[in-house]
Structure 1
């Protein structure tokens, strides 16, 4: 998937409902209430935080290209796609952003340092300039290398075999494999910069980076599911085991102790609106979340009915029809799963 296709895919989901900047925040993985709830409202989990270091300038350049290609209409309030954009047939992707939330970069950094070390030490060269200087990363890799008995040639061969076999199973393109491999450094070769990789493949730098992220997501999925013991070690703490953000987990613990929304805000010294965001996230991800402390069943049904009848999830539009409902209650109702009792 090219970066423009990624942006169009997200925009299709939120067309006429969100601003031009909303895909930018989602792609970067902004943990704001608005971005988190949009993931649930519009089913955008795969694309969350796929490019945490995305620069606004590069994103804006892409937006301008979409205008020039007549894929976007001028609208100061919301995303307004043209029929040409809405008719685009964009292939399915292998992204799993909500699961990894940018941690595929940690996996790649670990892999880079491990590959470099094995490349040198297997040739009896013990001194080299590490490709990554971060102390926490180096400490982690040292512990990992000791566990796999990295000085034994059998371990080096097994590691290489696992890389080849797992990449084959991942089913990613040859270009994607090459892009990931070109980031690695070893004896006699240096990893390429993103600019060099993009130039070598005739790609925009964002497309090269996105291709790597998609490849890494697919690859780590395979490593998790199949029997690759050496590579599995590199995935430690890479996968987000909880569907909830850490801050929301802390709010949940206090809520389970019987504290009210206002009491939780006071204890955590956070704005009430921030705690409301946490409850919306809970409603979005926990099918057993009891919403009745904040929202009656009848009001929930009214909000859902208005949303469906008007074919919108814009809070302001629903509020116009249900003035007695608070914005928090509307957000909560929209976040709840259809099967919610």
Structure 2
């Protein structure tokens, strides 16, 4: 997936219902109530936080390019796609940002240092400058290598075979896989910079960086499925135990103990609106979440029916037709999973 395709994939989901900057906040992984709820409203889980260091100028430049290519229609209030964009087919992606939350970087840093170590050991080189400077990662890798008996050449060979077989099974292009390999460093061979790879592939920096994230997400999914013993060890601490943000988890624990929304806001010394954001997130992620303390079934059905009738998830439009519903109740209804 190229960067402009990523933007268009998000825009196609939120067409005419959000502003032109909403994809930017999602791609960066902004943990605001609006961004979190949009993930659930529009099923945007794969794209959350995939480029946390995305520069706003680079995003704006990509948007201008989409305008120049007639994918966007000028609209000062909301994001609006042209028919050309609506008709565009965007290939499925292995991106899974909500699940991995940026931990693909931790996985790849561990992998890079392990590959570098095996490479130098195979050449009887005991001293080298580690490619990863983070001391916590270095410490983790040292313990991991001791655990698997890394000085045994058969172990190094087995690790290599796991690496190649799982990467081969990953459903991304050969270009994706090549970029991953070109980022690795070994004895007498330095990994290429982002710019070097971009130039050699005639891609933009953002295209290359996104393709690495996409490849890593697909690769980690294969490792989870096939469970190769050595590579599976690199997944330690990678997968989020909860699909909720940390702050929503704290609200959930208090709610489970019987505290009301207002009591939780007081105990946590947070605004009521912030706690409401947490409950919307709970409704979005937990198929067993009990929403009845906030919303009766009749009002829920009315909100959903109005949303479908008008084909919108814009709160103001629904509120105009259902003045008896609060904005919080509308947000809650729209966030509740269909399997509830």
Query: Normalising TM by the smaller chain, what interval?
Result: over 0.9
The answer for the alignment partner of 2:16 in structure 1 is 16
Deviation string 1:34-89 (CA, Å, 9 cap, x unpaired) is 11111111111111111111111111110010111111111121111011111111
Instruction: Give SS of 1:323's match.
Output: coil
Mapping for residues 32-43 of structure 1, pairs under 5 Å: 32-43=32-43
Deviation at 1:172, TM superposition (A): 2.2
Count matched residues. 340
Q: Which residue of 1 aligns with 2:164?
A: 164
Residues 221-260 of structure 1 aligned to structure 2 (within 5 Å): 221-260=221-260
Change (3 A) 1:339 1:151: closer
SS in 1 for 2:150: coil
Partner of 2:180: 180
**1:232-255, CA deviations, whole angstroms, 9 ceiling, x for partnerless residues?**
111111112211111111111100
RMSD, aligned CA: 1.0
CA distance in 2, matches of 1:227, 1:96: 19
Where do 1:120-199 residues align within 5 Å?
Answer: 120-199=120-199
Equivalent position SS for 2:46: helix
More deviation, 293-302/3-12: 293-302
CA distance in 1, matches of 2:195, 2:267: 47
Aligned to 2:269: 269
- Partner-residue secondary structure (3-state), 2:292: helix
**Superposition TM-score, scaled by structure 1 size:** 0.98
1:284-299 correspondence runs (5 A): 284-299=284-299
Q: Kindly state the Cα deviation for residue 119 of structure 1 after the two structures are TM-superposed.
A: 0.8
Deviation at 1:339, TM superposition (A): 3.8
Deviating runs (4+, > 3 A) in structure 1?
Answer: none
Q: Secondary structure at the match of 1:279?
A: helix
Q: Paired residue for 1:49?
A: 49
| Secondary structure of the corresponding residue to residue 234 of structure 2 | helix
Q: CA deviation at 1:324?
A: 2.0
Q: Which residue of 2 aligns with 1:61?
A: 61
Question: Residue 114 of structure 1 aligns with which residue?
Answer: 114
SS in structure 1 of the partner of residue 270 of structure 2: coil
CA distance in 2, matches of 1:143, 1:264: 41
> Whole-Å Cα distance in 2 between the matches of residues 107 and 123 of structure 1?
25
* In 2: Cα distance, 1:67 partner to 1:277 partner: 33
Tell me, in whole angstroms, the C-alpha distance in 2 between the residues paired with 1:273 and 1:97. 26
Deviation at 1:171, TM superposition (A): 2.8
Deviations 1:264-318 (A, max 9, x none): 1111122111111110011111111111111111111111111111110000111
**Does the residue aligned with 1:292 lie in a helix, a strand or coil?**
coil
Q: TM-score, normalised by structure 2?
A: 0.98
Equivalent position SS for 2:94? coil
How far the C-alpha of 1:95 sits from its partner, in A, is 1.1
| Corresponding residue number in structure 2 for 1:325 | 325
- Give the superposition deviation at 1:187: 0.2
1:167 and 1:112 mapped to 2: Cα distance?
14
* Structure 1 stretches lacking a partner, 5+ long: none
**Structure 1 CA distance, aligned partners of 2:179 and 2:209?**
9
Q: How does 1:76-95 map to 2 (within 5 A)?
A: 76-95=76-95
CA distance in 2, matches of 1:277, 1:226: 37
Q: Which runs of 5+ in 2 are unaligned?
A: none
